Structure 1
Amino acid sequence: MKIKGIDVSHWQGNINWDKVQKDGVKFAFIKATQGTSYSKVHYFKDNAKKAVKEGIHVGAYHYATFSSVSEAIKEAKYFLSVVKGFKLDYPLVLDLEEDKKGVSKKQLTDGAIAFLEVLENGGHFAMLYTGKSFLENQLDEKRLKPYALWVARYNYELGRHADIWQHTSSGRVNGISGNVDMNWSYRDFAAEIRKMRNTKPTKIATPKKETVYIVKPGDNLTKVANKYNTSVDKLVRDNKIKNKNLIYPGQKIRIK
């Protein structure tokens, strides 16, 4: 499986999404936020609506500037506040491609995991985007294995595993003036997210600890025991009945 997609930000300017869709683009990631404030939020909101209207699967990404867990959580919450209200059918993405403050690999990975956990706890499909070299040298990749992975490498081959490969930054697509990032997705994320949303949590019924049966005329303990798939001896024991052959109408029998 190889699905054609793009990712865009305000640098792409006005986009004709009808032409983009007719050029075979099936999905698009649109930049929504950066840090904890971003002046181009309107670009995401406007283009997400237009792309969805044309039948393109849409995801959103956040450009990270954090260097600690606390900063990562603040950025994740800001990201969610912007994409709230959009029923996106591709993942929400953490775009982590630089270590501006020169923190350790552990510290940066801790922040990434904290960010992705906020997305997942919000009920979203979380994904990490980064460059191949950055992933392999600046992050603890083993700890990030639970998350879907989108990797950038501008080469004739990716040379490693990824769920999405960003293979060039100089692609051309009808409906967009100038260059655009091009991607191949090896998973049908739209189908996975649709299934995730349609899967309801299984409710496990808690059995009642005790049922109370009111004895009716003509009843005996054998009838009651057969009705509740238990034994006469258990009924006698649980109800402290002195004479198992003597019960009376209106008597309460507890079935545990």
Structure 2
Amino acid sequence: MVLLRFRTWTARLGVLALAAGAVVAASASGTSAAPLPEGSADHYAGSQIGKHEGGTRTARPAKRFAEVPGMDVSSHQGDVDWRRSWDDGARFAYVKATEGTGYRNPKFAQQYNGSYDVGMIRGAYHFALPDRSGGTEQADFFVDHGGGWSADGRTLPGAMDMEYNPYGETCYGLSQEAMTRWVLDFSDRVLQRTQRHPTIYTSANWWNRCVGGSVHFGRTNPLWVAHYADALGALPVGWDFHTIWQWRAAGLFPGDQNLFNGNAEQLLSVALG
């Protein structure tokens, strides 16, 4: 019996030794766990805000001022019937172009060009991953793959989507100071390359927690705010007014439902810069 137990224990030690050797060999060869993916059809403007903040709506908010209805889409919507959306009343659209520095929307051409072809004013947006690479790098990737701008009266300034981390810690492990620097780097680079400050998409809760108000971005960057409730509510710190309100995650148009804070002429003036 003692001999049997000794042999069993020896066999177990052998297995552990082999496992340890495999770990050492893997370390020596530089093998490590595969990195998290960078980009997904499930990441789009508001996808994480809806998960963290919730909120639903059953009807269009009461019209208080001149407002223009619009929409935003990503590859999550696939090929969009733009003629139908136009006939239903949508007059502008934002289309996801990129995420981080490793993802491009495979439906971007159909969505970006299709919205333009039916007469909409449209723009592109970038889903930011501030813990993966710098703001300047992600801005370059965005502009190189759909985030440009032209003064044709039909193109909105590119937008940066700043919201909850879909892969982990809410603020991407960055302090407010570091996150503010990241946003400035992205904004400055887009301005340098397109002559327009990018629109900033966010929610008040995320922005106030992760970025804060050390820089008054409302002086330079249009605000596209997400808030799924009966009223718009408080804006993120740093803005005195909003340009676009994403008021519902689904509805009449494919993708998210938006309202431009002004009339058609004012929407055109935003496109023209």
TM-score range, shorter chain: 0.5 to 0.7
Q: What is aligned with 1:216?
A: none
Higher Rg of the two aligned structures? 1
**Residues 127 and 141 of structure 1, relative CA distance in 2, 3 Å threshold:** farther
Ranges in structure 1 where 5+ consecutive residues have no aligned partner = 197-256
SS at match of 1:158: coil
CA–CA distance in structure 2, aligned partners of residues 63 and 192 of structure 1 = 21
User: Aligned runs of 1:50-89 on 2, under 5 Å?
Assistant: 50-67=114-131, 71-83=134-146, 87=150, 89=155
**What is the CA–CA distance in structure 1 between the aligned matches of 2:249 and 2:174, rounded to whole Å?**
28
Give CA-to-partner distance per residue, 1:134-168, whole Å, 9 cap, x none.
Answer: 12222123512221111101000111342211111
- Amino acid aligned to 1:102: G
**Partner residue, 1:128:** 200
Query: Which has the larger displacement, 78-87 or 156-165?
Result: 78-87
Higher relative contact order (CA 8 A, sep 6+): 2
Q: What is the match of residue 213 of structure 1?
A: none
Tell me the C-alpha RMSD between the 2 structures. Answer: 2.0
**Which is strand-richer, 1 or 2?**
1
Unpaired runs of 5+ residues, structure 2, are 1-65, 235-240
- C-alpha distance in 1, partners of 2:131/2:76? 26
On the 8 A contact 1:67/1:108 being kept in 2, the answer is no
Give the alignment's TM-score, normalised by structure 2. Answer: 0.64
1:109 aligns with: 180
Q: 2:261 aligns with which of 178, 183, 186?
A: 186
Matched-pair contact (CA < 8 Å) for 1:171–1:181 = yes
- Structure 1 residues 86, 93: CA separation in 2 closer, same or farther (over 3 Å shift)? closer
Q: Is the 8 A contact 1:27 1:56 kept in 2?
A: yes
The SS at the match of 1:145 is helix
- 1:67 deviates by 3.3
Change (3 A) 1:38 1:132: same
1:28 paired to 2:106: no
Q: What amino acid is aligned across from residue 67 of structure 1 in structure 2?
A: D
3-state DSSP class of the match of 2:139?
helix
Q: Which of residues 47, 57, 64 is equivalent to 2:111?
A: 47
Using the TM superposition, give the Cα deviation of residue 50 of structure 1 relative to its aligned residue in structure 2, in angstroms.
Answer: 1.1
Task: Could you list the structure 1 runs, at least 4 aligned residues long, displaced by more than 3 angstroms after superposition.
Answer: 84-88
Partner SS state of residue 233, structure 2:
coil
Any residues of structure 2 matched to 1:124-163 within 5 Å, and which? 124-143=196-215, 144-146=217-219, 147-160=221-234, 161-163=241-243
| Seq. identity, % | 27
Amino acid across the alignment from 1:38 = Y
